């Protein structure tokens, strides 16, 4: 079975065709091409303001956290899952130019027979700790509480989601319709350790974790029937060679630490960019679902050429070599080294890279945009040349 077929049979999709088809007829708001849905300011009626809201979560990364917790007894890992749910909302919203203050409401569904009060406490208090850390870095998020439900008949372990909202000036919205031929693409590294992080970040984010879990972890983990879909073929379930406690040689970290590294936020850095270059940034793309092909949802008649990408950090090379996954699919499923990219005039790229460096965040020009008859992404990497779209 090739890797693409295997990924589909795991019950996941990098392109989410069904989702996009389902929402095709829905109202797309004031700025149909924006990264998040934006509506008029219904609260005050101001014609100068708008409301932006987004819902996302930690996804299947919570299953990995469950396995890690069962194996180590370390409940502190759940704070990182809280961060994943927060940042997957926050970083989508900053792509539309939102810098806060934000409101956040959590939604947690658990199987109470397997997820005890210690885990729940670590999660809820973890939210508060992450908000305090983000406030110290200049991003204000107000915790509005949320819903915690015991759903053992529906949820095998735990689902950690949330909704984030803010009000902003319409003049500050980045609607993505300014992306044009001649723009260069500045990529912001997903790995390393920024000034506002307390430890090394592997860069994994919160996408592709179903495939990463089954392709990387040893079949011994199949003893936890609550950690996978029992309808899956046995040859798909936990078919890697790794235990969560194994040390990955290049990074010196355990496999569990690499796969569960909390999703990095770029909010402090993007806020600094917008403070200096508001109006000159044509587009910001969060390379989450869809990896390096995410931009395809937001362009027409443009060719995005990525020919100076970061070398993938250890976590992605670890995942790839476990099942010899096609590199073309790796770039479509994972961020592969940069999870945020900005489409800007070449004249400001060097200064954006310099600003990122003040946060100890590696950034570089990873590509460019050219005119085309149809939308297309071309990747030129150390592992081959790959084409998407068209």
Identify the pLDDT of residue 17.
62
pLDDT at 285: 98
∠ at Cα 332 (9, 365), nearest 5°?
170
pLDDT of residue 27: 72
* Residue 1 banded pLDDT, cuts 50, 70, 90: very low
For residues 201-232, one letter each, b for 16 or more C-beta atoms within 10 angstroms of the residue's C-beta and e for the rest, the string is bbbbbbbbbbbbbbbbbeeebbebebbbeeee
Region 34-47: mean pLDDT is 95
The mean pLDDT of 38-53, rounded to a whole number, is: 96
* Among candidate residues 285, 325, 289, 366, the one with its CA nearest the CA of residue 97: 285
Summarised one tens digit per residue, pLDDT across range 256-304 is: 999 999 999 999 999 999 999 999 999 999 999 999 999 999 999 999 9
Burial classification of residue 384, based on how many CB atoms lie within 10 Å of its CB (0-12 exposed, 13-18 middle, 19 or more buried): exposed
Predicted pLDDT of residue 12: 61
pLDDT for 157 equals 97
Helix and strand element counts for the chain (H, E):
11, 12
- Give the pLDDT band (50/70/90) at residue 90: very high
Question: Residue 245 has what pLDDT?
Answer: 96
**What's the pLDDT tens digit per position in 357-366?**
999 999 999 9
Q: For the chain, which residues make up each domain, given as ranges?
A: 3-389
Q: What angle do CA 295, 366, 3 make, to 5 degrees?
A: 60
- Other C-beta atoms closer than 10 Å to the C-beta of 111 total 18
**What is the pLDDT, as a whole number, of residue 6?**
57
- CATH code of the domain made up of 3-389: 3.90.650.10
Q: What is the mean pLDDT of residues 82-102?
A: 97
Q: Which pTM value belongs to this model?
A: 0.94
């Amino acid at each position: 079975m090739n890797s693409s077929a295997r990924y589909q049979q795991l019950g996941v999709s990098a392109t989410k065709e069904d989702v996009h088809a389902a929402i095709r007829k829905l109202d797309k708001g004031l700025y149909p091409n924006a990264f998040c849905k934006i509506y008029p300011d219904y609260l005050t009626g101001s014609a100068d303001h708008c409301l932006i809201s987004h819902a996302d979560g930690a996804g299947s990364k919570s299953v990995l956290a469950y396995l890690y917790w069962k194996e180590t007894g370390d409940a502190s890992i759940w704070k990182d899952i809280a961060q994943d749910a927060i940042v997957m909302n926050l970083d989508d919203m900053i792509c539309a130019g939102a810098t806060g203050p934000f409101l956040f409401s959590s939604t947690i569904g658990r199987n109470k027979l397997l997820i005890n009060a210690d885990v729940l406490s670590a999660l809820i208090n973890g939210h508060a700790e992450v908000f305090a850390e983000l406030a110290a870095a200049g991003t204000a998020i107000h915790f509005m509480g949320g819903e915690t439900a015991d759903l053992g008949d529906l949820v095998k372990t735990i689902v950690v989601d949330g909704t984030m909202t803010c009000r902003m000036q319409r003049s500050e919205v980045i609607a993505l319709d300014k992306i044009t031929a001649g723009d260069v693409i500045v990529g912001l590294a997903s790995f390393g350790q920024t000034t506002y992080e307390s430890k090394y970040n592997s860069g994994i984010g919160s996408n592709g974790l179903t495939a990463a879990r089954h392709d990387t972890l040893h079949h011994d983990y199949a003893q936890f029937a609550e950690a996978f879909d029992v309808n899956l073929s046995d040859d798909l379930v936990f078919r890697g060679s790794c235990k969560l406690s194994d040390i990955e040689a290049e990074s010196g970290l355990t496999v569990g630490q690499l796969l569960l590294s909390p999703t990095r936020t770029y909010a402090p850095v993007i806020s600094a960019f917008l403070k200096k270059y508001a109006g000159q940034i044509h587009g910001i793309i969060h390379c989450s679902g869809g990896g390096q092909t995410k931009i395809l949802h937001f362009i027409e008649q443009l060719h995005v050429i990525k020919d100076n990408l970061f070398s993938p950090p250890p976590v992605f090379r670890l995942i790839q070599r476990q099942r010899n996954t096609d590199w073309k699919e790796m770039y479509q499923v994972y961020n592969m080294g940069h999870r945020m990219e900005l489409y800007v005039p070449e004249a400001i790229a060097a200064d954006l890279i310099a600003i990122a460096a003040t946060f100890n965040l590696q950034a570089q020009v990873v590509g460019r945009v050219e005119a085309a008859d149809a939308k297309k992404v071309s990747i030129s990497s150390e592992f081959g040349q790959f084409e998407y779209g068209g």
